[in-house]
Structure 1
Amino acid sequence: MAGWFLLFGIAFIAFALSAVSGGGAGLVLMPVLGLLLRPEGVPVALSIGTAVSSVSRIILFFRNIRWHVVLRFVPPALPAAWAGVLLLRQLEPAYLNLLLGLFLISNLPLVLRRQREIETVPQAGNIAWLPVVGTLAGFVSGFTGAVGLLFNRFYHRLGLNKQEIVATRAANDVLLHLVKVVLYVSYGMLDRATLTAGVVVAMAALISSVCMKFSLRHIPDHLFRKIGHGAAVAAGVAMMVIAGNQIVTKDRIGVHYSRESSEIKIALDWRQHRVALELEKPAEIEVRHTMNPQIGTSPNSAEFQYTLSHILHVSIIDGIYVTHVDTRHTNAPDI
């Protein structure tokens, strides 16, 4: 129960910052939801909450919607979202989250720019590329549940002010999120915990939108953009940390180092593979690839076996050659 109250508080703050920065609540909430739900449940809960947030912002900022942007963005985004949902059922989202985190961190130079540089933005952008942006946004949103700040730069380049960005993004997102929710349910990706998290996020989003309606007008445009870039960097760092931990745990990634009088050993574990580099005296290098066929067995367990070793030898005396060894042990090699 305490976790749901904590989620509500963080979601309220995230959607408040989202109103100030022009989006990004979903990306901020992804690391938090990742601690409460299974990975494939995160985009489902985000879509439920973000759909409610988009509806509330459409009602509150309806006059600021720029429909010519919506009409070019939404049609290609919907089928792309379906493709993203299908991919979500096949692949591990943590790897994409890691890449998205790197992309978000690229906003750091924009945070460090001076105010005069930040204010230099186009007043009227070309809208011909909007279908492409819609396709990319729909696909990424279907896979992760949120795009938020990823595409905020494109809205700025259209010359939209802060109210127009909030309203137009909501109009672009609402149908997209509703379609995704239907797809998630139809594919059996909605369980009780995910539904509860989605309802909690939706309630926080609704209350936050009402509270921020009267605060947005008092925020200068340059500060609006800078907060958005800062939120993107913070979300990127959090996504990389969470996704990195998930990948390390799921794929059993580990680095090992040992040093003896006559040799130095460095090894990297990834899933059922181990790649080891051995520096031996007087002057020989061995690169060893060993594969463990028993996927899912802990390297520290008695049942863990290493087999099928391929060793590349580089020696100033014997030259370069390869050996193959079929070794079977009840314990992992000591390295």
Structure 2
Amino acid sequence: MSGLERSLVFLALALLAEVAGTVGGFGSSVFFVPIANLFFAFEAVLGITALFHLASNLSKLGMFRGGIDRGLVLRIGVPSILFAVGGAYATAHVPTRGLEVALAVFLIGFSGWMLMHPEWSARPTASNAVLGGAVSGGMAGLVGTGGAIRGLTLAAFALPKEVFVATSAGIDLGIDLSRSIVYYRNGYMRGLELAWIPALVMVAVVGTWLGRGLLRHVPQQRFRQLALAMVAGIGMLTLYSAIRG
């Protein structure tokens, strides 16, 4: 595969990740991180994901404006940001292979549990909101994605689809801003990876727009099951890649 073909495949997969992340309600990073891991070193994946996700969440806030639940943003967002910073700093001291395996196990375990227990949800309490924010933020900082846990936390509050997406994006925006600073200080954002950002910004905007259109016309539950199946498949691929080195 030539360099151009490889680049086009990566951008096409990134677009699918953004569409699936918007429709599934998890955010694009749960799909984008394993995909980017096939093309870049894991440290670079963390940096480029944070920047891509900034564009993604700004697009969602623009297209779903007015739907954000500010109370949940504070209860989930504050612990998310604090633990995302801690997780981002921890990446400098944890072996890369261990991070990849942890990500794969998390994706497979989460998606498998939710597929087997589609009606299960956490209780909509303030303590669960804070706990969900802390765990999702820590995962986001450490392995690049915590949207699945945040989605599970938000699902407990039975939010309308548009409010769900906007609130998740508002929380994620704070996480991405904070961990981007730490990743930059850790040296994860190099010139080669930054060159991808203009194209990925366009992918984020177009993918969010396409996802919003699908979200309006297709039952959320059906797409959520598809998204979970995709998460499981990507997790298995990531685990296979990590084991082979």
The TM-score bracket by the shorter chain reads 0.7 to 0.9
Question: What corresponds to 2:31 in structure 1?
Answer: 28
Partner of 2:171: 172
Partner amino acid for 1:111? L
Question: TM-score by structure 2 length?
Answer: 0.88
**Is the CA contact (8 Å cut-off) linking 2:52 and 2:197 kept in structure 1?**
yes
Whether 1:92 aligns to 2:91 is no
**How has the CA–CA distance of structure 1 residues 122 and 85 changed in structure 2, closer, same or farther, with 3 Å as cutoff?**
closer
With normalisation by structure 1, the TM-score equals 0.66
Cα distance in 1 for partners of 2:121, 2:144 equals 30
C-alpha separation between the residues in 1 aligned to 2:235 and 2:37? 14
Partner of 1:195: 194
Report SS of the residue matched to 1:176. helix
Q: Distance in 1 between matches of 2:139 and 2:116?
A: 27
Compute the displacement of 1:54 (Å).
0.3
1:159 Cα deviation from its structure 2 partner: 1.2
> What is the aligned length?
241
What's the counterpart of residue 234 of structure 2?
235
Residue aligned with 2:188, SS: coil
Aligned to 1:285: none
1:35 Cα offset (Å):
3.0
Distance between the aligned counterparts of 1:160 and 1:26, measured in 2? 21
Q: Paired residue for 1:126?
A: 125
1:53-77 deviations in Å (ceiling 9; x for gaps): 0011011112221111101112122
Amino acid at match of 2:92: R
1:81 aligns with 2:69: no
**Alpha-carbon deviations, 1:149-173, whole Å to 9, x = none?**
2432222122123222211110100
**Amino acid aligned to 2:210:** C
Q: Distance in 2 between matches of 1:56 and 1:128?
A: 30
Against the structure 1 CA distance between its residues 133 and 122, is the aligned structure 2 distance closer, same or farther, given a 3 Å change threshold?
A: closer
Q: Name the structure with the higher helix share.
A: 2
Matched letter for residue 74 of structure 1: G
Instruction: Give the letter aligned to residue 125 of structure 1.
Output: P
Q: Which amino acid in 2 is paired with 1:108?
A: G
> What is aligned with 1:60?
63
Amino acid in structure 2 at the alignment position of 1:23: F
Give distance in 2, aligned partners of 1:130 and 1:217. 27
> Hey, what's the Cα distance between the residues in 1 that align with 2:169 and 2:80?
14
| Residue matched to 2:137 | 138
Matched, 1:16 2:19: yes
Q: Is the 8 A contact 2:24 2:220 kept in 1?
A: no
SS at structure 2 position matched to 1:158: coil
Report how far residue 109 of structure 1 moved: 5.1
Deviates more, 1:66-75 or 1:229-238: 229-238
Gaps of 5+ in 2: none
Aligned match of 2:222: 223
Change beyond 3 A, Cα 1:178–1:214: same
Larger RCO, structure (CA 8 Å, separation 6 or more): 2
Q: Alignment partner of 2:16: what SS?
A: helix
Provide the residue aligned with 1:292 in structure 2. Answer: none
Identity %: 21
Q: Does structure 1 conserve the Cα–Cα contact (< 8 Å) formed by 2:20 and 2:211?
A: no
Structure in which a larger fraction of residues adopt strand: 1
Contact 2:57 2:170 (C-alpha < 8 Å) held by counterparts: yes
Given that 1:37 and 1:193 are in contact with CA atoms closer than 8 Å, whether structure 2 keeps it comes out as no
C-alpha displacement of 1:244: 2.0
* Residue 43 to residue 123, structure 1, CA distance change in 2 (3 Å): closer
1:41 aligns with 2:44: yes
Gaps of at least 5 residues in structure 1 are 247-335
> Match of 1:102?
105
**Secondary structure, in 3 states, of the residue corresponding to 2:195?**
helix
